[in-house]
Amino acid sequence: MENFQPIDIETEVQVPIQAAKGEIDATFISFSGLREPHFAIKLGPADGPGVIPLVRIHSECVTGDIFGSLRCDCGPQLHEAIDRISTEGGYILYLRQEGRGIGLNSKLRAYKEQDKGLDTFEANRVLGFPDDARDFNLPAALLKVLKVTQLRLLSNNPDKLKSLIENGIDVVSSVPTGTFMNSKNQKYLEAKHLQKGHQLFNS
Protein backbone atom coordinates (compact mmCIF):
# COMPACT_ATOMS: atom_id res chain seq x y z
CA MET A 1 0.00 0.00 0.00
CA GLU A 2 1.22 3.46 -0.89
CA ASN A 3 0.16 5.36 2.23
CA PHE A 4 2.41 5.92 5.23
CA GLN A 5 -0.20 7.21 7.67
CA PRO A 6 -3.84 6.43 8.45
CA ILE A 7 -6.27 7.22 5.66
CA ASP A 8 -9.27 9.39 6.47
CA ILE A 9 -11.83 11.51 4.68
CA GLU A 10 -10.49 15.03 4.22
CA THR A 11 -13.24 16.89 2.35
CA GLU A 12 -16.72 16.13 1.04
CA VAL A 13 -18.31 18.63 -1.32
CA GLN A 14 -21.29 18.53 -3.64
CA VAL A 15 -20.46 19.16 -7.30
CA PRO A 16 -23.22 19.11 -9.95
CA ILE A 17 -21.92 17.41 -13.09
CA GLN A 18 -23.14 17.02 -16.65
CA ALA A 19 -23.95 13.43 -17.60
CA ALA A 20 -25.55 11.84 -20.64
CA LYS A 21 -28.97 12.06 -19.00
CA GLY A 22 -28.50 15.67 -17.92
CA GLU A 23 -27.29 17.43 -14.79
CA ILE A 24 -26.81 15.19 -11.77
CA ASP A 25 -25.65 15.77 -8.21
CA ALA A 26 -22.35 14.24 -7.18
CA THR A 27 -20.38 14.37 -3.96
CA PHE A 28 -16.61 14.47 -4.42
CA ILE A 29 -14.65 13.01 -1.50
CA SER A 30 -10.94 13.56 -0.96
CA PHE A 31 -8.72 11.60 1.42
CA SER A 32 -5.88 12.47 3.75
CA GLY A 33 -2.95 10.14 4.36
CA LEU A 34 -2.26 9.30 0.72
CA ARG A 35 0.77 10.06 -1.43
CA GLU A 36 -1.40 10.51 -4.53
CA PRO A 37 -4.67 12.51 -4.65
CA HIS A 38 -7.03 9.59 -5.21
CA PHE A 39 -10.66 10.51 -4.66
CA ALA A 40 -14.18 9.09 -4.59
CA ILE A 41 -17.39 10.29 -6.19
CA LYS A 42 -20.66 9.43 -4.46
CA LEU A 43 -23.62 9.24 -6.81
CA GLY A 44 -27.31 8.54 -6.33
CA PRO A 45 -28.89 6.90 -3.29
CA ALA A 46 -25.71 5.17 -2.11
CA ASP A 47 -26.72 4.80 1.54
CA GLY A 48 -29.71 3.55 3.46
CA PRO A 49 -31.35 0.35 4.67
CA GLY A 50 -31.13 -2.43 2.11
CA VAL A 51 -28.98 -0.41 -0.31
CA ILE A 52 -26.01 -2.31 -1.70
CA PRO A 53 -23.93 0.31 -3.52
CA LEU A 54 -22.68 -0.19 -7.06
CA VAL A 55 -18.95 0.61 -7.15
CA ARG A 56 -16.63 1.32 -10.05
CA ILE A 57 -12.86 1.27 -9.42
CA HIS A 58 -11.57 3.50 -12.21
CA SER A 59 -7.94 4.23 -12.95
CA GLU A 60 -7.18 7.68 -14.30
CA CYS A 61 -6.80 7.87 -18.08
CA VAL A 62 -6.17 11.42 -19.24
CA THR A 63 -6.20 10.48 -22.92
CA GLY A 64 -9.45 8.52 -22.67
CA ASP A 65 -11.38 10.20 -19.85
CA ILE A 66 -10.75 13.79 -20.96
CA PHE A 67 -9.82 13.70 -24.65
CA GLY A 68 -11.88 10.73 -25.82
CA SER A 69 -8.99 8.58 -27.04
CA LEU A 70 -10.13 5.67 -29.19
CA ARG A 71 -7.08 3.56 -28.25
CA CYS A 72 -8.78 2.34 -25.06
CA ASP A 73 -12.25 1.97 -23.55
CA CYS A 74 -11.63 4.05 -20.43
CA GLY A 75 -13.71 7.11 -21.31
CA PRO A 76 -16.84 5.16 -22.26
CA GLN A 77 -16.50 2.99 -19.15
CA LEU A 78 -16.27 6.06 -16.92
CA HIS A 79 -19.31 7.71 -18.46
CA GLU A 80 -21.26 4.45 -18.32
CA ALA A 81 -20.39 4.22 -14.61
CA ILE A 82 -21.57 7.79 -13.94
CA ASP A 83 -24.91 7.12 -15.62
CA ARG A 84 -25.52 3.74 -13.99
CA ILE A 85 -24.35 4.62 -10.50
CA SER A 86 -26.24 7.91 -10.42
CA THR A 87 -29.41 5.86 -10.94
CA GLU A 88 -28.63 2.83 -8.76
CA GLY A 89 -26.55 4.53 -6.06
CA GLY A 90 -22.91 3.98 -5.20
CA TYR A 91 -19.39 5.23 -5.68
CA ILE A 92 -16.68 5.73 -8.27
CA LEU A 93 -13.17 5.40 -6.86
CA TYR A 94 -11.01 7.51 -9.16
CA LEU A 95 -7.44 6.31 -8.70
CA ARG A 96 -4.47 8.31 -9.97
CA GLN A 97 -2.85 5.24 -11.55
CA GLU A 98 -2.46 6.36 -15.15
CA GLY A 99 -1.45 3.73 -17.68
CA ARG A 100 -2.09 0.82 -15.31
CA GLY A 101 0.26 2.47 -12.83
CA ILE A 102 3.21 3.50 -15.04
CA GLY A 103 2.25 7.15 -15.51
CA LEU A 104 1.29 9.23 -18.52
CA ASN A 105 4.77 9.72 -19.98
CA SER A 106 5.51 5.99 -19.89
CA LYS A 107 2.07 5.17 -21.25
CA LEU A 108 2.78 7.35 -24.29
CA ARG A 109 6.10 5.55 -24.74
CA ALA A 110 4.22 2.25 -24.57
CA TYR A 111 1.87 3.53 -27.28
CA LYS A 112 4.89 4.03 -29.53
CA GLU A 113 5.83 0.39 -28.97
CA GLN A 114 2.27 -0.69 -29.73
CA ASP A 115 2.52 1.20 -33.01
CA LYS A 116 5.29 -1.26 -33.93
CA GLY A 117 2.90 -4.19 -33.49
CA LEU A 118 3.18 -5.08 -29.81
CA ASP A 119 0.10 -5.51 -27.64
CA THR A 120 -0.41 -3.43 -24.49
CA PHE A 121 1.30 -5.94 -22.18
CA GLU A 122 4.22 -6.66 -24.52
CA ALA A 123 4.84 -2.92 -24.81
CA ASN A 124 5.04 -2.56 -21.02
CA ARG A 125 7.52 -5.43 -20.78
CA VAL A 126 9.78 -3.97 -23.48
CA LEU A 127 9.98 -0.79 -21.40
CA GLY A 128 10.80 -2.73 -18.24
CA PHE A 129 7.39 -2.43 -16.57
CA PRO A 130 5.11 -5.17 -15.23
CA ASP A 131 1.89 -5.97 -17.05
CA ASP A 132 0.00 -4.06 -14.36
CA ALA A 133 1.69 -1.82 -11.78
CA ARG A 134 -1.48 -0.70 -10.00
CA ASP A 135 -2.08 -1.16 -6.27
CA PHE A 136 -5.24 -3.22 -6.00
CA ASN A 137 -5.14 -3.22 -2.18
CA LEU A 138 -5.77 0.52 -2.14
CA PRO A 139 -9.45 0.42 -3.25
CA ALA A 140 -10.42 -1.82 -0.34
CA ALA A 141 -8.75 0.55 2.12
CA LEU A 142 -10.61 3.55 0.67
CA LEU A 143 -13.91 1.68 0.71
CA LYS A 144 -13.48 0.86 4.38
CA VAL A 145 -12.89 4.54 5.13
CA LEU A 146 -16.18 5.21 3.31
CA LYS A 147 -17.76 2.49 5.49
CA VAL A 148 -18.55 0.40 2.40
CA THR A 149 -17.90 -3.25 3.21
CA GLN A 150 -20.57 -4.76 0.96
CA LEU A 151 -21.04 -3.81 -2.67
CA ARG A 152 -21.78 -4.72 -6.25
CA LEU A 153 -18.67 -4.32 -8.39
CA LEU A 154 -18.97 -2.70 -11.82
CA SER A 155 -15.96 -4.19 -13.56
CA ASN A 156 -14.68 -6.69 -16.13
CA ASN A 157 -11.34 -7.11 -14.33
CA PRO A 158 -10.99 -10.31 -12.26
CA ASP A 159 -7.95 -8.89 -10.40
CA LYS A 160 -10.07 -6.11 -8.90
CA LEU A 161 -12.67 -8.61 -7.75
CA LYS A 162 -10.06 -10.93 -6.25
CA SER A 163 -8.30 -8.15 -4.36
CA LEU A 164 -11.48 -6.77 -2.83
CA ILE A 165 -12.49 -10.20 -1.57
CA GLU A 166 -9.01 -10.89 -0.19
CA ASN A 167 -9.16 -7.57 1.67
CA GLY A 168 -12.42 -8.36 3.40
CA ILE A 169 -14.94 -6.63 1.12
CA ASP A 170 -18.17 -8.55 0.56
CA VAL A 171 -18.72 -8.42 -3.20
CA VAL A 172 -22.34 -9.47 -3.60
CA SER A 173 -22.14 -9.52 -7.39
CA SER A 174 -19.82 -8.62 -10.24
CA VAL A 175 -21.61 -6.46 -12.81
CA PRO A 176 -19.87 -6.35 -16.22
CA THR A 177 -19.32 -3.07 -18.00
CA GLY A 178 -20.15 -2.65 -21.65
CA THR A 179 -17.70 -3.69 -24.35
CA PHE A 180 -16.81 -0.44 -26.09
CA MET A 181 -14.92 -1.73 -29.10
CA ASN A 182 -13.85 0.21 -32.15
CA SER A 183 -11.30 -0.32 -34.91
CA LYS A 184 -8.59 1.49 -32.89
CA ASN A 185 -8.91 -0.44 -29.60
CA GLN A 186 -9.84 -3.94 -30.78
CA LYS A 187 -6.34 -5.39 -30.28
CA TYR A 188 -6.10 -3.75 -26.86
CA LEU A 189 -9.40 -5.28 -25.71
CA GLU A 190 -8.54 -8.68 -27.15
CA ALA A 191 -5.23 -8.68 -25.23
CA LYS A 192 -7.01 -7.88 -21.96
CA HIS A 193 -9.50 -10.66 -22.59
CA LEU A 194 -7.09 -13.36 -23.76
CA GLN A 195 -4.16 -12.64 -21.41
CA LYS A 196 -5.83 -11.33 -18.26
CA GLY A 197 -9.30 -12.82 -18.36
CA HIS A 198 -11.26 -9.57 -18.62
CA GLN A 199 -14.91 -10.45 -19.20
CA LEU A 200 -15.32 -8.50 -22.42
CA PHE A 201 -16.79 -11.08 -24.74
CA ASN A 202 -19.38 -13.83 -24.57
CA SER A 203 -16.90 -16.50 -25.69
Which residues are catalytically annotated? 132, 134
Q: Which H/E stretch holds residue 170?
A: strand 170-175
**What is the amino acid identity at position 18?**
Q
Strand ranges of the sheet holding 150-154, from the earlier edge strand across to the other edge: 8-19, 22-32, 39-43, 90-95, 54-59, 150-154, 170-175
Distance CA 76, CA 71 (A): 12
Distance CA 1, CA 71 (A): 29
Q: Could you give the 3-state DSSP secondary structure of residue 16? A: strand
Distance CA 160, CA 5 (A): 23
Q: Among 104, 126, 103, which residue's Cα sits nearest to residue 115?
A: 126
Chain mean position to CA 138: 12
Q: Among 92, 99, 87, 90, which residue's Cα sits nearest to residue 77?
A: 92
